[in-house]
Structure 1
Amino acid sequence: MSDPEDSITQVDTFIAPPCLGQIRVLYQDSDILLIDKPSGLLSLSGKNPLNFDSVHYRLVQDFPTATLLHRLDFGTSGIMLVALNKTVNGLLTKQFQARTVEKRYTALLHGHLTDDSGVINLPIAKDVDNFPLQKICHSTGKLAISEYRVLERLTEPFATRVEFTPVSGRTHQLRIHSQQLGHSILGCDLYGGVGEKITDNDYALHHIRLMLHATRLGFDHPITGEHIDWICKCPF
């Protein structure tokens, strides 16, 4: 997940590999789109001209007025909300700012969690010496709260399927909070767990993709007022 407030000032040397996955439209009307973003696709085009391919770049080919209300990390797949005009963008932005938009994520975490549910309340700040990493910082970090509950404990791979409910939306929040639990998200190349032992059976899965998917989004339609609660099935 990514925080629009966290603007990038450092030079980004990352070059995204080609993404063959396609954006799937889940819902469409004259005001909004709900889409399923593939893993391995940037939400917004990068400053490097080689990173032009993105969710926004692809959408504006067919929807020239499309604007993203929020972002998902490069490796994260799942549901995103898109505004199709300025009025709707403004109305939905207010819902995000008021934290009335309901978000759920599904993740595979390495190992077995002891607790069936919990809350992680650890502030997050930019790690200015290790861009693009974030870090836990109690002095300068922004409020970051993630609720979680265990859905399933697996043996092959040795992992736990978890549902996350982020109360806030900081950059890399679920990834770094998972690391702080001692159970990093499988496939995470930035916040791997210290001392985690990855078995041969886990190895391939650990490197396929980031095992994090935006599963559910709930909000009030900005024009009709109808409450929309959409589920985007997890692919793993």
Structure 2
Amino acid sequence: MNTLSTAIAMDGFVYQPPQSPYMPVIYHDDDIVVFNKPSGLLSVPGRQQAHRESLALRALRVWPDVRVVHRLDMATSGLIVMALNKAAQSHLSRQFQQRQPKKTYLAEVWGHPCESQGGIELPLRCDWPNRPRQIVDHTQGKYALTHWQIIEWREQTALVKLMPVTGRSHQLRVHMQSLGHPIIGDKLYASTPALAAASRLHLHAAQLSFYHPRSNQWLSFESPAQFS
């Protein structure tokens, strides 16, 4: 396996894709492969050659016809599915376009929300002068909805279950920031104490469910969060 032996500067910080775990596979068959992506690894290659090391590239070395269906932010860990043929990719992509898959994330947020659960319905768009940041924009933003529920109260933080209905870029991170409780370790959206509270983004794709592209069976996968 090819590895990166040196850290790479990327958008003001150092891109140093993890080598262990390298490419954890949760499940695979002739049509799909489900990974447990580590935090710090791009889902797909970046535009620059130095940023090509990614989960998709690592998968391509094993499955030459692997195809991307959806993505996770580089800093987010957890479950992601890829297709192993064109028919599977079309089937899965259609599901994601129609918002059929069910996704649940776990996040550790700074502070204690006043309520134990709720919904955040705020439209989002890219903050072009400050890419890749996203912002709330009630005029030009795209519809975005996130349901959330407190799982555990901690001394200065809370463990929250996040259930996005839409899949906008950085949706969960911006929505929790807008609630006044950013995800700790978030280098883009966290306040100073929230950023200092963790060395990585505490956001993990913990559950993923969808219809198998060949059998049409409803599949569900789980991955416990291991924030460290």
Instruction: Give the TM-score normalised by the residue count of structure 2.
Output: 0.91
Q: How does 1:16-165 map to 2 (within 5 A)?
A: 16-21=15-20, 22-155=22-155, 158-165=156-163
The one-letter code of the counterpart of 1:24 is P
1:170 to partner: Cα distance: 0.5
Identical positions, percent: 37
1:113 to partner: Cα distance: 1.3
State how far apart, in whole Å, the 1-side matches of 2:119 and 2:11 are: 34
Partner residue in 2 for 1:213? 204
State how far apart, in whole Å, the 2-side matches of 1:154 and 1:138 are: 33
What secondary structure is seen at the aligned counterpart in 1 of 2:113? coil
Give deviations 1:49-80, integer Å, cap 9, x for gaps.
11111011100000111112110001000000
State how far apart, in whole Å, the 2-side matches of 1:38 and 1:154 are: 24
1:227 aligns with 2:225: no
Give deviations 1:108-130, integer Å, cap 9, x for gaps.
00011111100000000111111
Q: How does 1:173-192 map to 2 (within 5 A)?
A: 173-192=171-190
Partner residue in 1 for 2:6? none
Query: Which of 163, 166, 177 is equivalent to 2:164?
Result: 166
1:197 to partner: Cα distance: 4.5
What secondary structure is seen at the aligned counterpart in 2 of 1:148? strand
State how far apart, in whole Å, the 1-side matches of 2:193 and 2:35 are: 36
Higher relative contact order (CA 8 A, sep 6+): 1
State how far apart, in whole Å, the 1-side matches of 2:19 and 2:175 are: 30
The one-letter code of the counterpart of 2:203 is L
The one-letter code of the counterpart of 1:17 is Q
Instruction: Give the TM-score normalised by the residue count of structure 1.
Output: 0.88
Give deviations 1:28-57, integer Å, cap 9, x for gaps.
100001110000000111111111110111
1:18 to partner: Cα distance: 3.5
List runs of 5+ in structure 1 lacking aligned partners.
1-11
1:20 to partner: Cα distance: 2.4
Give deviations 1:152-187, integer Å, cap 9, x for gaps.
0011xx110000000000110000001001000000
State how far apart, in whole Å, the 1-side matches of 2:80 and 2:17 are: 20
State how far apart, in whole Å, the 2-side matches of 1:74 and 1:175 are: 13
State how far apart, in whole Å, the 2-side matches of 1:150 and 1:223 are: 36
Partner residue in 2 for 1:3? none
Cα RMSD for the two superposed structures: 1.5
1:13 to partner: Cα distance: 4.0
Size of the alignment, in residue pairs?
Answer: 216
Give deviations 1:215-235, integer Å, cap 9, x for gaps.
000111111111101111111
Q: How does 1:186-205 map to 2 (within 5 A)?
A: 186-193=184-191, 197=193, 203=196, 205=197
Give deviations 1:86-109, integer Å, cap 9, x for gaps.
000001111101101000000000
